[in-house]
Structure 1
Amino acid sequence: MDLLNTDLATRVDTIDWRRLEDDLNQFGCATVDQLLTAGECDTLSALYAQDALYRSRVVMARHGFGRGEYKYYRYPLPEIIGTLRETVYPHLAPVANRWNALMGIDARYPADHADFINRCHAAGQTRPTPLILQYAEGDYNCLHQDLYGEHVFPIQLAILLSVPGRDFTGGEFVMTEQRPRMQSRAEVVPLAQGDAVIFAVHHRPVNGTRGVYRVNLRHGVSRLRFGHRHTAGVIFHDAT
């Protein structure tokens, strides 16, 4: 591991993971301030034009996903993205296992990310899912869930690479939580450049009067009012 990735791994290890788990349990999402430096964010944004780094490009409007576009990285992943995938996952796997136990879901996740990826690949999920998204004025991302196959890791992260107020306005990260027999709850997450939001992909456990039940979550991005916005998304399972 080179110096850059050693430094990034240290940042990940020094996150207050207990506080983060408390926020995930209470709200379905949690933020990490300055997970990436401005230089790391600018490096990832500048790589968007290098098509050789990506396995595919998706124009959202063609599929009814919203407006804007995104590209899935190919293997090998950029060092920053690969390091995040490998070092964040071990902190989230225990949370994911506790959630599944509470919700009566049989799936359990190994402690090491490489072991989980081997499980995905053995099931035919071999395509990398980390991605970078690009929005321009008027673009938005419809509420959705990133589910790509049988083996789905239930938590993921997104990192804002652009500077709010300078590079763009609008474009807030949004989550909705659909609760049984109740109105849906919305969560708007303000981020600065380099900040990460860690959030539930599909559902999470909530304590109710009759015990634990599942709530369904979706995430998206509100309409950009001005400028351009880049975001990196780190999904821990691979796709079919």
Structure 2
Amino acid sequence: MSPTTKPTAPGARTTGTGPWAGRVAAADWSAVATELDAYGGALLPQLLAPDEAARIRELYERPELFRSTVDMARHRFGCGEYKYFHAPYPEPVEQLKRALYPHLLPIARTWWQRLGRTAPWPDTLEEWLGMCHAAGQTKSTAILLRYAAGDWNALHRDLYGDLVFPLQVVINLDRPGTDHTGGEFLLVEQRPRAQSRASATLLPRGHGYVFTTRDRPVRSARGWSAAPVRHGVSPVRTGRRHTLALVFHDAA
């Protein structure tokens, strides 16, 4: 079994190990939090080296690593295909989730405090996933997506059950402008008593993008309110685009 496909042992450190933890820690998390507050999404540093991105992309052809395949056109989710990894995940996927969670957690708790909500998320990812499983959300949610020319992803939210972590991360596994054109990552925010606001981001290969799963707090004259946000992908013009999606709650 190659290093890329080696599953992580159940007793592994909760904060992540290997080079991925160092890359996550190298982000300016104060700046990330500020950008999330302003736009609902923020670019992260390069989390996967080019060879790591290539190896994860190649896993798409190994059906034994996945629990489910979704044809987006069939379900009217857009056009393209994605697969849910089985747990335990390949090592980079697992270690990135473990490394990211402690940095995302303070942002999530701050958001819920602003909205007057009780933050349910414990200090470790293991405890949080244990809560998900106890509530019947036991299905793994790390996703590998593949888009060909003409494919796109409709605006949506990855909720999967009553227990939801409010932030998630996507990582582009290809070179924009070389392996594909188009395929920008989209965020559309429904603003209170105003027209919706959209943003489009072209992710460099290996870089992460963190964004809100469901909504985010926005300040108004009456205090804080929740602005619903949906995400998607614009049509790929040429080539092929692969994306790794890290969701921090499991599915019912």
Report TM bin, short chain.
over 0.9
How far apart are 1:106 and its partner, in Å? 2.1
Distance 1:197 1:12 in 2: 12
C-alpha change, 1:108 and 1:146, in structure 2 (3 Å) is same
Distance 1:67 1:225 in 2: 13
Give the TM-score taking structure 2 as reference length. Answer: 0.92
Which segments of 5 or more consecutive residues in structure 2 lack a partner in the other structure? 1-11
| Matching residue of 1:26 | 38
> Does the aligned pair in 1 maintain the 2:214–2:228 contact within 8 Å?
yes
Identity %: 45
| Matching residue of 1:222 | 234
1:180 aligns with 2:192: yes
Distance 1:210 1:27 in 2: 20
SS at 1:22's partner residue?
helix
> Does the aligned pair in 2 maintain the 1:5–1:80 contact within 8 Å?
no
Which of 168, 176, 181 in structure 2 is aligned with 1:164? 176
1:58 aligns with 2:70: yes
> Does the aligned pair in 2 maintain the 1:5–1:79 contact within 8 Å?
no
| Matching residue of 2:160 | 148
Give the TM-score taking structure 1 as reference length. Answer: 0.97
What is the identity, as a one-letter code, of the residue corresponding to 1:178?
Q
SS at 2:137's partner residue?
coil
How far apart are 1:5 and its partner, in Å? 4.2
How far apart are 1:59 and its partner, in Å? 0.3
> Does the aligned pair in 2 maintain the 1:100–1:108 contact within 8 Å?
no
Question: How big is the alpha-carbon RMSD for the aligned residues of Structure 1 and Structure 2?
Answer: 1.3
SS at 1:61's partner residue?
coil
| Matching residue of 1:86 | 98
How far apart are 1:205 and its partner, in Å? 0.3
1:72 aligns with 2:87: no
How far apart are 1:198 and its partner, in Å? 0.1
| Matching residue of 2:5 | none
1:138 aligns with 2:150: yes
Deviations 1:24-73 (A, max 9, x none): 11110000131211011001001100000000000000000000000000
